[in-house]
Amino acid sequence: MKFATKIFSTVLSVSLLMGSMALFPVLSETAFAQMSSAKSIVDLAKSKGLVGERIDGYLGLVMGSVSPDVQSAVNEINIRRKTLYTKLAREQGVEIAIVAKLTGEKLIAKAKPGEKIMGNDGIWHTK
């Protein structure tokens, strides 16, 4: 239990997953602008019900097809998340999937009312 609590605490402290720059204080202005742009695009897509948070810690497309900008932003954020999950998993000596799922649970809990979320059942729900 202590092990899971430690991982969960680490994951909860990582505000990057919600778009913060907490773990990237040395990023260039260009990189920050790109990250900010991707987050803005995804936030708008979430508000329209096109994109949602999945229990596995990644963003997912609610609809089968979205604009190339939305697809690119989702891919960018998911790549950053996987990089972060990998780093945290190595530091904690656990599987990436464990870190990702714990984070997914937290992201789903933080989803705004009206946003789409996918739980263990694999079905999109409106929060």
pLDDT at 8: 46
Element (H, E) at 52: strand 51-54
Average pLDDT by stretches of 10, the chain with 127 residues: 48 42 41 70 96 97 92 96 93 95 95 96 96
pLDDT at 35: 64
Give the Cα separation of 60 and 91 in Å (integer): 26
On whether the pTM is more than 0.85, the answer is: no
Element (H or E) spanning 60, and its range?
strand 59-61
